[in-house]
Structures are given as structure tokens and as C-alpha cells.
DNA sequence: CGGTGGGTTAACGCCAGGTGAACATTGTCG
DNA sequence: CGACAATGTTCACCTGGCGTTAACCCACCG
């Protein structure tokens, strides 16, 4: 997965040095040599990160940053500047910058910061998938074949346990431990929860994903048509 | 809107100075004085940002950071260190840090970086958007489908918190912390505010954006028609 | 036949959450 | 100063979802 970056910098030598180094590490670079051009480029197409020099012809870096944010652009912005003054840093952060690096800097550090910025924003979609069954862990939603499933908290726990194990079967004890930890309730509560989970997951579909292996446990993901 | 922060730092004097300053700016601080304690605290409860010293007793900052990420914790982490060596910076970023600040630093810069990290779509001093719901942060106005919404200060804080988290759900504790910081009121005040927020946001529309996931929390942005 | 492991269904009680109104606090303006 | 509006807080009550229990069903196997 390539990082796509925009560098706005008027010093041609510095720009070339930076771009050359970044391209070697696998970062794809666009380049603009003045503020106005940078703004236009940033608005015209998507970048994962923007590097902004502050002292630029036509429009300075802070103005570019401010205008981008005013347009609703949320791309992570790293300010580059030879100005080490506190006031410049504060001004940059206040117009919406995400990081600030003082020249001269070491190129590996720049790369590390670029990576950190692009990762944070990439919305780590935390999901599990088995066949057409999808669990979105961060949004806490489950869906099958695009249709959203309604799960109770216990049903969710149960399904998560099954999906993590899939395609291996999970025995009764492990499921009980997943829900209640040490102190198990008596009676056949687990059966009821499993039943409800089946209704939620398999009811409206031709293929049953939840399978019981008698004497072994329950398994998710074996592909068998329903009888 | 309170930022909730964890400082892991063994130098008591420095820690006190930092905490005192941060609290003045409205940032609520937890504090751990060694790596192991810091790790436990970070795993035990939610923070918006974590400040990690590198040279710590029991477990150094990079190890803490690494272990946190291995546990799936994605809280933004800012490394603080007197080490200015490139190798230390690179090592920190490679274990999942988001920023790195060399001691001694100026407190206002620290605050600016904390803010940038905690606002998830940071800086973007301007708009938050979820579906047709838009918050204009600079003008402090919210609208849905073009129609302006009337929000009380608390309602605003609540909505901002939900929008920043969206589509992830936010639990009760985090909402309470966002409004009141440390000192929570008793009784069911939060319920009332949520109720009013719902009236303001969802009352006149066919699609309800605010949804409660029983036992989990409240979520913004699930697209479901109202019953 | 009855035992055993599992499936199905209905009933019950608890409690997190929802609701509307009353009360308290603050600030503004005539 | 006093009235009023806007907001935050508290209270009492309602509701529905969820977890649990129990009772019954079925199929397979000795």
C-alpha cells in the first residue's frame, strides 16, 4: 500500500532531495513550488499526507493550511520550517496542522512522522469475516450479505468467539468461559443463546453457517446447505 | 469538552509542573510514575492521549507503547524524552508512537500537540460531518439537512464527542467524562441530556442518527429507518 | 425402551435506559 | 432590583430488552 504525498516547497534543491529519498522508501510524491499551486493541487486530488513549508511564495504555509481546512479537507498536514519559534508552531497548530518539524531535519525522522500521520487517519477498520458474514468490531455492527444483524451483547460475544476460532470448532466450555468467565450459571442458558444466535445469523439465509458437531462443539463456516 | 490524559513520568517535579499546567488549560490528567503502572492504567481505562516518558523504572516507554498496541489499544501516544538521538525517535515511531517531543520543551507546544492528537480528525478547525448532520466548529453551529439545530452547551459537547467517535459507539463513562471531567453529578443527568439531544437531532427526521446499543453505549451514524 | 445431548418455546423478573415535569442556577435586560 | 429565559440538575415513573429458568420435544444409541 503506497503512501501518496504532496510536498509544497519552493527550495528546489531541498525538494528534490526530499522527494528522491521518499520515493526510495516507497512514498509517491506530488510537488508544488508555491502556496497557491499547493492549495490547488491539494484540493484537486487526494493525498494521504501533505508536507507544507511555511515560507512560500504567493501564499504561506499557514494560510494554505487554513484554507484547506475551511474547505473541509482533513488530510494530515506536517509543517516544515526553519522557524523554531514557539509562536510559529502554535500558529500552525491553531490553523489545523498535525505536526511540525524544524529544518534541518533528518530524513528518516521525516519518514517516520509521515507514516505515523498516514496510519492514524487510515481508519483502522477492525473487522472479522467468515464467508458473507462480516463483523465490524469498531462500529460494533454485524451483517450478512449486506443485511445488518441484530445481536444482543451475549450474542455478539458468542459470535465473536466463533469467528475468531473459525473454521475450528469451539467446545461448550470455551463458549461458556467467553461469556461468563469463571462463574457459570446453571441450567441450559447457553443453549438458548445459541438458538437465538442461530435465528439471527442463519434464519433468513439458504446456507447455515453455524453447525454443531455433536460431542465436539459448535463450528462456524463449514459450507453446507440447510436440510 | 474535556481532554482526558495519562502522563507516565517518573520525575515527580516535572510531572507536577506538567500536570499543573495542563489542568489549567482544562485537560484532566491521570498520572503513573513507572512503566508497569502506566501500562495497567492505560489498559484499565480510556484516555484521549497518553504522554510517555522513555526512561522509566520497571518498563521503558517504548515497551509500554509496544504492549499497548499489541493489546489493540489505539490511543494516540506522544513520547517525551531527553534523548534527541535519531535512533530513539525511529524506535519509538516503529513501536506505534504518534509523536515525539524532546525535553526540555515548552508547555504551550506540548498542549498544541496534545490537542492535535486528541482531535481525531485533528486541527480541521472547521467541520465535522456524519451523514447529513454537520457541525461547524468555528461558528459553533450545527445543522441537519440544512436545517439549523438548537443545542445547549452540554448538548453540543455531547454531540461533538459522538461525532468524533463515529461510527464507533461511545460508552456512558466516556460521555460523562467529556462533559464533567472528574466530578460527575449523581442521578441520571446524562440520560436527560441525551434525551434532549435526541429531540434536537432526530425529532424532525425520518432517519434516527443517534442509537443506543444496550450495555455498550451510544452510537452516531447507524443508518436505520425509525420504527 | 429409557438415557443423553441437543433444540425449541414460552414465561418471568430485573434493570438500563427513556420520559416528562419540577426545581435550581445563572445571566440578561428593562 | 425583579422578571424572564435558558440551561443544568433532580426526581418519580414507565418501558422494553435481555438474561435466565424451566418444561417439553426430538433423534440417536445402548
Q: What is the pLDDT of residue B180?
A: 87
In sequence order, what DSSP letters do the residues of A107-155 get, joined into one string?
HHHHHHHHHHHHHHHT----EEEETTEEEETTTTEEEETTEEE---HHH
- In this model, does residue A188 exceed pLDDT 90? no
Q: Is B57 exposed, middle or buried (0-12, 13-18, 19+ CB in 10 A)?
A: exposed
The owner of cell 492504567 is B41
User: A66-95: buried (b, 16+ CB within 10 Å) or exposed (e) per residue?
Assistant: bbbbeeebbbbbbbbbebeeeebbbbbbbb
CB contact under 8 A, B112 and A120: no
Q: What is the pLDDT of residue B122?
A: 46
Backbone angles phi, psi at A206, to 5 degrees: -70, -35
Q: What is the pLDDT of residue A154?
A: 93
- In this model, does residue A44 exceed pLDDT 50? yes
Q: What is the pLDDT of residue B129?
A: 82
Predicted confidence (pLDDT) per residue in A156-173, tens digit = 999 999 998 878 888 888
Stretch (H or E) spanning B27: strand B27-32
**Strand, helix or coil for residue A223:** strand
- In this model, does residue A117 exceed pLDDT 60? yes
Q: What is the DSSP letter of B123?
A: S
Predicted confidence (pLDDT) per residue in A75-96, tens digit = 899 999 998 999 999 999 998 8
Start-to-end Cα distance in chain A: 44
Note the residue count of chain A.
227
Partner residue facing B86 (CB), from A72, A109, A120: A109
Q: What is the pLDDT of residue A108?
A: 95
**pLDDT confidence tier of residue A223, bands split at 50, 70 and 90:** low
Alpha-carbon Rg for chain A in angstroms: 26
Residue pair B95/B61 in contact by the 8 Å Cβ criterion: no
pTM (2 decimals)?
0.76
* Number of other CB atoms surrounding residue A135 within 10 Å: 22
Give A-chain residues touching B169 at CB under 8 angstroms.
139-140
| List of domains in chain B | 3-118 (3.40.50.2300), 127-225 (1.10.10.10)
CA A174 to chain centre: 30
Q: What is the pLDDT of residue B126?
A: 66
Tens digit of pLDDT at every position of chain B (227 positions) = 788 899 999 999 999 999 999 998 888 899 999 999 999 999 888 898 999 999 998 899 999 999 998 877 888 999 999 989 999 999 999 999 999 999 999 999 999 999 999 875 444 456 788 888 888 887 888 888 888 888 999 999 999 999 888 788 998 888 988 888 877 777 788 999 999 999 988 888 888 899 999 888 999 875 543 32
Partner residue facing B115 (CB), from A93, A95, A120: A93
Going by their DSSP bridges, the two strands B207-213 and B217-225 should be labelled as antiparallel
Please name the residues in contact with B61: beta carbons below 8 A apart, sequence gap of 6 or more.
B8, B35, B52, B53, B54, B55, B79, B80, B81, B92
Cis peptide upstream of residue A104 (ω within 30 degrees of 0): yes
Which residues 106-145 of B interface with strand C at a CB distance below 7 A? none
Q: Which residues in B have their CB inside 8 Å of a CB on A?
A: 72, 74, 76, 86, 89-90, 93-94, 97-99, 106, 108-109, 112-113, 115-116, 121-127, 129, 167-169, 213-216, 219, 222, 224
Between CA A157 and CA A153 the distance in angstroms is 6
Residue A30 Ramachandran class (φ > 0 left, ψ -120 to 50 alpha, else beta)? beta
Q: How far is the CA of A177 from the C1' of D12 (A)?
A: 39
Please name the residues in contact with B17: beta carbons below 8 A apart, sequence gap of 6 or more.
none
Could you tell me which residues are beta bridge partners of residue B89?
none
Q: How far is the CA of A210 from the C1' of D7 (A)?
A: 52
Strand stretches in B68-172, DSSP E = 77-81, 99-102, 127-130, 133-136, 141-144, 147-149
Give B-chain residues touching A148 at CB under 8 angstroms.
224
Give A-chain residues touching B76 at CB under 8 angstroms.
120
Bases of chain D within 7 A of a CB of the protein: 6-12, 17-23
Q: What is the DSSP letter of A97?
A: -
Query: CA-nearest residue of chain B to A72?
Result: B127
Could you tell me which residues are beta bridge partners of residue A209?
none
Alpha-carbon Rg for chain B in angstroms: 19
CB contact under 8 A, B127 and A96: no
Bases of chain C within 7 A of a CB of the protein: 5-10, 16-21
Predicted confidence (pLDDT) per residue in B97-154, tens digit = 999 999 999 999 999 999 999 875 444 456 788 888 888 887 888 888 888 888 999 9
Residue pair B163/B143 in contact by the 8 Å Cβ criterion: no
Q: What is the pLDDT of residue B164?
A: 85
Between CA B38 and CA B31 the distance in angstroms is 8
Choice among A33-37, A51-55, A124-128, B174-178 with the minimum mean pLDDT: A124-128
Start-to-end Cα distance in chain B: 32
In sequence order, what DSSP letters do the residues of A12-74 get, joined into one string?
HHHHHHHHHHHHHTTEEEEEESSHHHHHHHHHHS--SEEEEESS-SSS-HHHHHHHHHHTT--
**Strand, helix or coil for residue A78:** strand
Predicted confidence (pLDDT) per residue in A65-75, tens digit = 999 888 878 88
Residue pair B103/B55 in contact by the 8 Å Cβ criterion: no
Question: For residues B144, B149, B153 and B154, what is the CA-based torsion angle, rounded to 10 degrees?
Answer: -60
CB contact under 8 A, B89 and A112: yes
B227 touches strand C (CB under 7 A): no
Q: What is the DSSP letter of B169?
A: -
Amino acid at each position: 500500500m503506497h503512501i501518496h504525498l504532496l510536498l509544497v516547497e519552493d527550495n528546489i534543491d531541498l525538494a528534490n532531495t526530499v522527494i528522491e529519498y521518499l520515493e526510495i522508501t516507497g512514498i509517491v510524491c506530488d510537488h508544488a513550488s508555491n502556496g497557491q499551486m499547493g492549495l490547488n493541487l491539494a484540493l484537486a486530488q487526494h493525498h494521504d499526507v501533505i508536507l507544507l513549508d511555511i515560507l512560500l511564495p504567493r501564499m504561506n504555509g499557514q494560510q494554505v493550511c487554513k484554507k484547506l481546512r475551511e474547505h473541509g479537507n482533513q488530510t494530515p498536514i506536517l509543517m516544515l520550517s526553519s522557524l523554531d519559534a514557539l509562536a510559529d508552531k502554535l500558529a500552525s497548530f491553531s490553523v489545523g496542522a498535525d505536526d511540525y518539524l524544524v529544518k534541518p531535519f533528518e530524513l528518516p525522522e521525516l519518514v517516520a512522522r509521515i507514516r505515523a500521520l498516514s496510519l492514524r487517519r487510515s481508519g483502522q477498520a477492525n473487522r472479522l469475516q467468515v464467508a458473507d458474514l462480516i463483523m465490524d468490531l469498531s462500529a460494533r455492527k454485524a451483517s450478512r450479505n449486506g443485511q445488518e444483524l441484530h445481536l444482543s451483547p451475549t450474542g455478539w460475544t458468542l459470535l465473536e468467539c466463533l469467528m475468531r476460532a473459525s473454521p475450528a470448532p469451539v467446545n461448550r466450555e470455551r463458549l461458556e468461559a467467553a461469556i461468563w468467565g469463571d462463574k457459570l450459571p446453571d441450567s441450559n442458558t447457553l443453549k438458548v443463546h445459541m438458538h437465538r444466535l442461530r435465528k439471527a445469523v442463519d434464519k433468513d439465509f439458504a446456507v447455515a453457517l453455524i453447525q454443531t458437531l455433536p460431542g465436539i462443539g459448535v463450528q462456524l463456516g463449514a459450507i453446507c446447505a440447510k436440510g
